[in-house]
Amino acid sequence: MSRTRILRNPIVFVFGFVSISCFVILTISILRLPDIPLGPYVATKASRKASQNDKLPIGKFGELTLEMLPEDLPFTVFLPSERAFARDLRLRWKDSLSPEKMNDTYAIISRVLGFSTVPRSIASDNVPIGKELSYDSISGFTLWLSKEEDGAVVVNGVRSERVDVRRKASVVHVMDGVVMDAEFQQAFQTEEEEDWVKE
């Protein structure tokens, strides 16, 4: 078949065009362009101020938590803020890295990761305002998601501080609290009461 006959045959032409297009798309995806945040941050004064001042938008505990996930698989993590780690779980970065507390810190973070991570990508745009969606976390804990008028995502009563922070293939929503089951929460409340009695 001559070159002019190939160009005149529409089936061969379309096949060639589709093949070249697929090759271009594959090449671009292999280059792995940098992650770009999808969607807006929650438009509150606190989140605007935090986004201007923080070098690490998800904090040191957040970075440590996300290191436990595979980088190439899509997850959605409802990650406690640094303040929530300190307030609700009494984890402080300086204290947590001591050899005596390192194992406890990793155990707590892995439990939180199990409760607050969904094995799929859920951007805030996928959550409708005023409607509640249900997802199972990787530990089997049921998460109830909704969105407020200002764009904040609410998960099991915990409100987000920021939404749609991209980390590799994952979407991270920084929460003003810890998404956890009642038994795990009770363990921390019991320790808090014991600390109060000792004082």
Residue with tokens 């292999």: 30
* Residue 131 to residues 145, 153, 178, Cα–Cα distance (Å): 8, 11, 22
Amino acid, single-letter form, for residue 169: A
pLDDT at 123: 93
Angstrom distance (rounded) from CA 138 to CA 117: 6
91: helix, coil or strand? coil
pLDDT at 6: 54
For 9-34, the pLDDT digits (tens) are: 777 777 777 888 777 776 766 665 44
Tell me the pLDDT band of 105, cut-offs 50, 70 and 90.
confident
> pTM above 0.75?
no
| CATH class given for the domain over 45-198 | mainly beta
Domain ranges of the chain: 1-33, 45-198
Angstrom distance (rounded) from CA 82 to CA 104: 17
Higher-confidence position of 114 and 44: 114
Angstrom distance (rounded) from CA 82 to CA 88: 10
Tell me the pLDDT band of 85, cut-offs 50, 70 and 90.
confident
Q: ∠ CA(169), CA(173), CA(174), 5° rounding?
A: 130
For 28-54, the pLDDT digits (tens) are: 666 654 444 444 444 443 344 344 334
Q: How many CA atoms lie within 13 A of 182 on its CB side?
A: 0
pLDDT at 8: 67
Tell me the pLDDT band of 193, cut-offs 50, 70 and 90.
very low
For 124-181, the pLDDT digits (tens) are: 999 999 899 999 999 999 999 999 999 999 999 999 999 999 888 899 999 999 998 8
